[in-house]
């Protein structure tokens, strides 16, 4: 009777598993190194740490950065800062060790930005802040901030609301991430316009962390808490939140009946302006913002003068203006 070598079979399987795991890992490292290693023959390298890499707004923003960088002849790497300034600090240190020529910093929040700004200045490399402004106490230490006039965005949203509810009414308001400069400043601008108006914001701060799913849940809770008849307007800070809000309204048959105002250049915003469920938007084009960031950094790299604050073009967009803008 033939002897079946079970032990030998197990040993062979162990060796195969070992070999496979090692080859797997090495091939990944090798492929990554071959595919992504920046050129050493002259192309300058830009490194960007984006604290909100996975937020809907940041996908076209990253694209805007990448496209402009390639157009200007730079190699670009964008990494996820995961909302953690300590992680972003470590990423920048790794980038400097790797020899990157210029840096883009998209902060997680204002409060934790000072140590990162301090380090970036210590590197001696050209760098900018993109989208989210740093702590006001150290803003003068930033060579260039490329960001929207967030307060003006808030004012635009407020103007849309006041124009719609001329005789007053009740609104609910969904905000972004607590502590983010965009959230704080948009709310500031909104409150400036609503002060003295007859519009009443029913809720206290409700943060959706830029997540459409959370925004949807918040809207559903508002409808339950205040009642569908008590709310006259839904105000959203960006397109992601609007997407969540409109989904909640659609689910209860209120889409187009209970109006909204928002900010952003999302496709759903465009469609909603056209179909009338969204009154208008305050423009914040992430493609343009990303591209402007790289253009400003390019000037710094070349030693040219840049403004301390390069304002991302904005303004209001109503139904008649829809075709004039980029949507994503």
Partner 1 sequence: MKKFTYNSTAIKNFLFERSIVIMLFIFIIVMTIIKPAFYGWDNIVNILNEMTVYGITACAMTVAIICGEFDLSASSVFAWSTVLFVSMTNKFGLVPAFLITIISGAFWGILNGWLVSKVRMSAFVATLGTMTIIKGLAFFYTDGVPINTSNTTLQAIGSFNIAGISITPIAFILVFSAFVFVLLKTKFGRKLYATGGNYEVARLAGINVTFYKFIIFVILGICAALSASLFVVRIHAGSALYGGDLALYSVAATVIGGTSLSGGNGGVTKTIVGLLVLSVLFNALTLLGIQGYFQQLIRGIVLISVIMFDASINRKR
Nearest distance from C-beta of residue 310 to partner 1, angstroms = 24
- Residues touching partner 1: how many (CB under 8 A)? 56
Cβ distance to partner 1 smaller for residue 67 or 197: 67
3-state secondary structure of 170: strand
Cβ distance to partner 1 smaller for residue 81 or 280: 81
Q: How far apart are CA 108 and CA 51, in angstroms?
A: 5
First vs last C-alpha separation in the chain: 71
- Of 21-29, 258-266, 285-293, 316-324, the segment contacting partner 1 by CB under 8 A is 21-29
186-215 positions binding partner 1, by CB under 8 A: 205, 207
Express the helix, strand and coil content of the chain in percent, nearest 5 each: 50, 20, 30
Q: Tell whether residue 84 is a contact of partner 1 (CB under 8 A).
A: yes
Q: Tell whether residue 130 is a contact of partner 1 (CB under 8 A).
A: no
- Of 13-21, 159-167, 241-249, 314-322, the segment contacting partner 1 by CB under 8 A is 13-21
- Of 153-161, 175-183, 242-250, 317-325, the segment contacting partner 1 by CB under 8 A is 175-183
- Of 30-38, 124-132, 151-159, 275-283, the segment contacting partner 1 by CB under 8 A is 30-38
61-80 positions binding partner 1, by CB under 8 A: 62, 75, 77-80
Nearest distance from C-beta of residue 56 to partner 1, angstroms = 14
**Residues whose CB falls within 8 Å of the CB of residue 116, separated by 6 or more in sequence, listed in order:** 85, 88, 89, 92, 105, 107
Distance of alpha carbon 84 from the chain centroid = 14
Strands 316-317 and 278-282: antiparallel
Q: Tell whether residue 179 is a contact of partner 1 (CB under 8 A).
A: yes
Q: How far apart are CA 326 and CA 207, in angstroms?
A: 27
314, 156 contact by CB (below 8 A): yes
Q: How far apart are CA 78 and CA 69, in angstroms?
A: 11
Nearest distance from C-beta of residue 63 to partner 1, angstroms = 11
320, 273 contact by CB (below 8 A): no
Cβ distance to partner 1 smaller for residue 4 or 97: 97
Candidates 1, 4, 6, 33; binder of partner 1 (CB under 8 A) is 33
Cβ distance to partner 1 smaller for residue 103 or 310: 103
Judged on CB neighbours under 10 Å (0-12, 13-18, 19+), 47 is buried
Q: How far apart are CA 261 and CA 253, in angstroms?
A: 18
Binding site for partner 1 (CB under 8 A): 10, 13-14, 17-18, 21-22, 24-26, 28-30, 32-33, 36-38, 50, 53, 62, 75, 77-80, 82-87, 89-91, 93-99, 109-112, 114-115, 135, 137, 177-179, 184, 205, 207
């Amino acid at each position: 009777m033939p002897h079946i070598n079970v032990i030998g079979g197990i040993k062979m399987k162990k060796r195969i598993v070992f070999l496979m795991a090692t080859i797997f890992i090495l091939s990944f490292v090798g492929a990554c190194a071959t595919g992504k290693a920046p050129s050493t023959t002259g192309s300058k390298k830009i490194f960007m740490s984006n604290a909100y890499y996975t937020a809907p707004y940041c996908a076209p923003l990253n694209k805007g950065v990448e496209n402009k960088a390639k157009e200007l002849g730079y190699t670009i790497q964008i990494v996820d800062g995961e909302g953690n300034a300590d992680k972003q600090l470590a990423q920048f240190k790794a980038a400097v060790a790797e020899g990157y020529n210029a840096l883009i910093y998209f902060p997680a929040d204002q409060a934790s930005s000072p140590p990162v700004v301090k380090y970036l200045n210590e590197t001696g490399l050209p760098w900018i802040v993109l989208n989210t402004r740093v702590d006001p106490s150290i803003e003068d230490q930033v060579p260039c901030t490329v960001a929207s006039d967030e307060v003006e965005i808030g004012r635009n949203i407020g103007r849309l609301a006041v124009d719609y509810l001329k005789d007053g009414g009740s609104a609910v308001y969904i905000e972004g991430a607590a502590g983010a400069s965009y959230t704080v400043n948009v709310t500031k601008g909104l409150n400036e316009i609503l002060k003295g108006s007859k519009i009443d914001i029913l809720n206290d701060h409700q943060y959706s962390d830029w997540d459409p799913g959370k925004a949807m849940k918040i809207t559903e809770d508002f409808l339950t808490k205040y009642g569908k008849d008590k709310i006259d307007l839904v105000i959203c800070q960006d397109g992601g939140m609007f997407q969540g809000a409109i989904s909640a309204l659609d689910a209860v048959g209120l889409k187009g009946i209970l109006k909204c105002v928002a900010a952003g250049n999302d496709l759903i915003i465009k469609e909603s302006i056209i179909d009338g469920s969204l009154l208008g938007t305050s423009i914040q084009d992430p493609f343009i913002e990303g591209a402007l960031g790289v253009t400003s950094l390019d000037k710094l790299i070349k030693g040219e003068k840049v403004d301390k604050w390069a304002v991302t073009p904005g303004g209001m967009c109503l139904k008649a203006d829809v075709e004039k803008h980029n949507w994503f």
